[in-house]
């Protein structure tokens, strides 16, 4: 019998867990040594949360570069090393340990000032971050996701809490004071806590966010100064992401006028509220939103940014938390004028079954009459683009930056923004 299977059979579950974690840590420690302790002496900023991780990391990367720092960036969307950027083509949100260590080793060789890492709950749970020195740990928000893996919200939250606890020993913990899990993370934090949000007690208070189709304006207040700035990104939730960046800039000792300038200089992130304008006067917005909270925030951003109609093209991911499917259907009904229900990534599931679960939520919210179901994603997007009128905004949600779709037949090539642009040209020729 396999030794691991034998251990699980004869030993108590707690003992098995401790033994497995000890093994993973020892293996990781050996890998650290094998790569020459690549994280040693690096200034690492780790960003976690359910939504906003990728955008916050990219915004921070832009801000620090505009402030004169050299950076290394590792996110699910893009990887950047000392100014050289590439799309992350790894078909996983959790980097392989060796890939991460190679990245850290190169960051040391390049002598970058800061390393910015998008940190997932899975990576923390699997001890892939253990031994990496975290100077600043950042929490964006917590909402339902990955319950297929963690089982409960409590276990999901606990996994992310490792980034802030004595497990990782961060010097600073930057927390969203408005998030419902704030108290949990504050109590879990081992470093000095810095808070941001609309709550009056926040260290950096968000006094106002005004969003339009052209961007947003933001006012941030501290006890002794204010920061008023603008950005080309849209959505109130991106106001929170920018406030997160400003909080880190405050910790690093930047002056208010510097923070205003670097926040105003951040650019859009591939597949994150990425806007494509049609010659006919409507706008398609490609976003990675694949969980209820993210879908709601994205749709609300479009609703507040336009006086036209809001259309949405979306589905749900296969082999993932099934409970969120009807919830996403209900959210779509609440914020969209018309819904184009389609396939996302089915993995090993039948697409018909996934769509049926989403449609159940649509029906319960009485949105059946404003829903068009088209299984073929390309055709669903084409239908939405064809139906859209001047002033409308179309959210195309679920895949974002990805250059593939995980379907029953395997990973098939897919780049959402390219599909949208191709279809717009095709429609114009008709």
Which of 206, 238, 264 terminates a domain? The answer is: 264
Tell which phi-psi region holds residue 337, choosing left (phi > 0), alpha (psi between -120 and 50) or beta: alpha
Is the CB of residue 56 less than 8 Å from the CB of residue 245?
Answer: yes
How crowded is residue 312: how many other Cβ atoms within 10 Å of its Cβ? 28
> For residue 340, what is the domain's CATH number?
3.90.190.20
Q: Do 298 and 257 fall into the same domain?
A: no
DSSP 3-state of 190: coil
Q: Which residue is listed with tokens 């995980």?
A: 406
What pairing do the DSSP bridges indicate for beta strands 226-231 and 215-221?
antiparallel
Which of 246, 264, 282 terminates a domain? The answer is: 264
Classify residue 313 by burial, with Cβ atoms within 10 Å: 0-12, 13-18, 19+: buried
Q: Do 106 and 168 fall into the same domain?
A: yes
CA distances from 81 to 95, 111, 112, 267, 294 (A): 16, 10, 8, 17, 28
Residues 6 or more apart in contact with residue 321 via CB below 8 angstroms: 144, 145, 146, 147, 148
- Establish if 12 belongs to a structural domain: no
pLDDT at 144: 78
Q: Do 158 and 188 fall into the same domain?
A: yes
**In tens digits, what is the pLDDT along the chain, a chain of 430 residues?**
555 455 455 555 556 566 666 666 666 666 666 666 777 889 999 999 988 899 999 999 999 999 999 999 999 888 999 999 887 877 565 677 888 888 999 999 999 999 999 999 988 998 888 888 899 999 999 987 777 878 898 999 999 999 999 999 999 999 999 999 999 999 999 999 999 999 999 999 999 999 888 889 999 999 999 999 999 898 899 999 999 999 999 999 999 999 999 999 998 888 889 999 999 999 999 999 999 999 999 999 999 889 899 999 999 999 988 999 999 999 999 999 999 999 999 999 999 999 999 999 999 999 999 999 999 999 999 999 999 999 999 999 999 988 889 998 788 999 999 999 999 999 988 7
pLDDT at 136: 98
Q: Do 64 and 184 fall into the same domain?
A: yes
Q: Do 173 and 281 fall into the same domain?
A: no
- Establish if 316 belongs to a structural domain: yes
- Establish if 1 belongs to a structural domain: no
Q: Do 344 and 419 fall into the same domain?
A: yes
Q: For 168-207, give one letter per residue: b (16+ CB within 10 A) or e.
A: bebebbbbbbebebbebbeebbebebbbbbbeeebbbbbe
How crowded is residue 411: how many other Cβ atoms within 10 Å of its Cβ? 13
CA atoms of 30 and 385, how far apart (whole Å): 53
Helix (H) or strand (E) holding 86: strand 84-87
> For residue 229, what is the domain's CATH number?
3.40.1190.10
- Establish if 7 belongs to a structural domain: no
For the chain, the first-to-last Cα distance in angstroms comes to: 65
Handedness of CA 389, 395, 399, 402 (dihedral sign): positive
Q: Which domain holds residue 85?
A: 35-264
- Establish if 257 belongs to a structural domain: yes
- Establish if 9 belongs to a structural domain: no
What pairing do the DSSP bridges indicate for beta strands 134-139 and 44-48?
parallel
DSSP 3-state of 413: strand
Q: Do 347 and 398 fall into the same domain?
A: yes
- Establish if 5 belongs to a structural domain: no
- Establish if 414 belongs to a structural domain: yes
Q: For 81-104, give one letter per residue: b (16+ CB within 10 A) or e.
A: bbeeeeebeeeebbbebeebbebb
pTM passes above 0.75: yes
Number of domain units in the chain: 2
CA atoms of 82 and 65, how far apart (whole Å): 9
């Amino acid at each position: 019998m396999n030794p691991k299977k034998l251990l699980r059979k004869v030993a108590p579950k707690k003992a098995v867990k401790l033994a497995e974690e000890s093994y993973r840590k020892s293996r990781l420690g050996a890998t650290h040594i094998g790569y020459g302790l690549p994280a040693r002496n690096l200034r690492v900023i780790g960003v976690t949360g359910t939504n906003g991780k990728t955008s916050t990391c990219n915004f921070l990367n832009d801000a620090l570069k505009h402030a004169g720092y050299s950076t290394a960036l590792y996110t699910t969307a893009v990887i950047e090393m000392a100014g050289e950027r590439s799309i992350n083509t790894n078909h996983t949100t959790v980097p392989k340990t060796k890939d991460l260590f190679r990245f850290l080793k190169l960051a040391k060789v390049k002598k970058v000032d800061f390393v910015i890492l998008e940190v997932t709950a899975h990576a923390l749970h699997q001890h892939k971050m253990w031994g990496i020195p975290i100077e600043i740990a950042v929490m964006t928000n917590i909402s339902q996701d990955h319950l297929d893996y963690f089982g409960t919200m409590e276990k999901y939250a606990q996994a992310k809490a490792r980034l802030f606890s004595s497990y990782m020993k961060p010097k600073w913990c930057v927390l969203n004071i408005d998030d419902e899990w704030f108290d949990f993370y504050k109590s879990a934090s081992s470093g000095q806590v810095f808070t941001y949000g609309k709550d009056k007690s926040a260290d950096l208070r968000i006094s106002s966010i005004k969003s339009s189709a052209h961007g947003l304006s933001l006012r941030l207040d501290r006890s002794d100064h204010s920061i008023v700035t603008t950005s080309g990104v849209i959505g109130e939730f991106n106001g929170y992401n920018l406030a997160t960046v400003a909080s880190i800039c405050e910790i690093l000792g930047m002056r208010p006028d510097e923070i205003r300038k670097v926040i105003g200089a951040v650019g859009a992130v591939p597949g994150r509220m990425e806007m494509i304008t049609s010659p006919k006067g409507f706008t398609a917005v490609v976003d990675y939103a694949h969980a209820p909270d993210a879908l709601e925030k994205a749709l609300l951003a479009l609703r507040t940014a336009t006086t036209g109609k809001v259309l949405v093209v979306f589905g749900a991911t296969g082999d993932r938390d099934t409970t969120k499917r009807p919830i996403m259907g209900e959210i779509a009904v609440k914020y969209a004028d018309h819904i184009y229900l389609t396939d996302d990534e089915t993995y090993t599931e039948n697409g018909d079954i996934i769509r049926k679960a989403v449609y159940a939520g649509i029906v319960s919210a009485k949105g059946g009459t404003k829903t068009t179901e088209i299984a073929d994603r390309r055709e669903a997007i084409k239908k939405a683009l064809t139906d859209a009128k001047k002033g409308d905004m179309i959210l195309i949600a679920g895949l974002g930056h990805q250059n593939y779709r995980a379907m029953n037949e395997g990973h098939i090539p897919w780049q959402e923004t390219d599909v949208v642009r191709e279809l717009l040209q095709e429609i114009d020729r008709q």
